[in-house]
Amino acid sequence: MSLKIAVLIKQVPDTRNVGKDAMKEDGTINRAALPAIFNPEDLNALEMALHIKDIIPDSQVIVLTMGPARATEILKEALYRGADRGILISDKYFAGSDTLATSYALSLAVKKLGKIDLVFAGRQAIDGDTAQVGPQIAEKLNMPQITYAEKVVEISIQHIVIQRRIERGTETVKVSLPCLITVHSSAPLCRFKNAKRVLKFKKITTAEEHTSNNNSSIEVWNAAFLEANMDYLGLSGSPTKVKKIENVVFSKKENVSIAPTQPEVDLLFKELIDSHIL
């Protein structure tokens, strides 16, 4: 017996390390200055899937990403780390998708995989921090969802027990398969690339063919293949519209500089106490 596991991943600009050149003069983002990376919590999600494959070895781990051709980089990286199959969901019709349109396209892709037991995703992507796409896909697949997962407590062919990390502690929940799980950064880090797997998948290319279990290429699925309702894709399928974008400007304050010496620090604290701030 085995499980069929989908892992949804995303390539994101590294917003955690925004340097001074990341913003252009006009306040727009200089994407070229931001490296594109494997969304951090998606790596935690991949690890959780691979961990289950360790326990139930015949299981299959399929990674899917929606994005431009360049996003095959993270599919390959997932193959290096242990995934069995990579699928790129890519089409000009997906451009401008908000979380609802994105969840529609991704849910169609998961449905195309046939009977699926588990769907994993990172809790959120660092470019938007919305945490919305996971639960939206769960709703579209009519699956229960477990968000903020940090540990697999128990796994079998029929059910999974998950510990989730919330603000004031943890909850442990049990659910029958299939279900969708979003994974928190407190979950175990992803295993490293495997040298043999790197050699095996390094030269892999993308292909428009839609054969399953194809180890020699990364499949590319477009809107037509997904039999998508075009009204639900891209800008037209996105109920949220961006009205305005502004650069963040903080009003500068008049600033008093204090030397790091005892007399000056004493003076500062005297002032704070005298003015009842402290």
Place of tokens 């892709």: 109
Nearer to another protein, 27 or 68 (CB): 27
- In angstroms, give the least distance from the CB of 200 to another protein: 33
Smaller CB separation from another protein, 161 or 198: 161
Q: Which stretch binds another protein (CB under 8 A): 27-35, 46-54, 191-199, 221-229?
A: 27-35
Separation between Cα atoms, residue 220 and residue 138, nearest integer Å: 23
Residue closer to another protein (CB basis): 32 or 277: 277
Report how far residue 138's alpha carbon sits from residue 161's, in angstroms, rounded to the nearest whole number. 17
Q: What's the closest the beta carbon of residue 98 comes to another protein, in angstroms?
A: 7
Buried b (16+ CB within 10 A) or exposed e, 151-188: bbeebeeeebebbbbeeeeeeeeebebbbbbbbbebbe
139 SS3 class: helix
- Residue 121 φ/ψ, nearest 5 degrees: -155, 160
131 binds another protein (CB under 8 A): yes
Which tokens is 149 given?
């997962």
Residues in region 207-266 near another protein by CB under 8 A: 238-248, 250-262, 265-266
DSSP annotation of 71 reads G
**Site for another protein, residues 82 to 121, rule: CB under 8 A:** 98-100, 103
Minimum CB distance to another protein, residue 195 (Å) = 29
Residue placing its CB nearer to another protein in the complex, 96 or 135 = 135
7 or 138: CB nearest another protein: 138
Q: Does 129 bind another protein (CB under 8 A)?
A: yes
For another protein, the closer of residues 109 and 220 by Cβ is 109
Q: From the list 11, 134, 220, 233, which residue makes contact with another protein (rule: CB under 8 A)?
A: 134
Instruction: Compare residues 1 and 242 and give the one whose CB is closer to another protein.
Output: 242
Of the candidate residues 135, 193, 222, 225, the single one contacting another protein (CB under 8 A): 135
Please, which of residues 136-195 interact with another protein by CB under 8 A?
Answer: 136-140, 144-148, 153, 161, 166-176, 179, 185
Query: Measured between alpha carbons, how far is 222 from 167 in angstroms, rounded to an integer?
Result: 39
**How many residues sit close enough to another protein to count as binding (CB under 8 A)?**
79
Q: Does 35 bind another protein (CB under 8 A)?
A: no
CA distance 8 to 129: 16
Q: Are 152 and 115 in contact (CB under 8 A)?
A: no
Alpha carbon distances (Å) from 12 to 16, 78, 105, 132: 11, 15, 18, 16
In angstroms, what is the minimal distance from the CB of 117 to another protein? 14
CA distance 41 to 31: 21
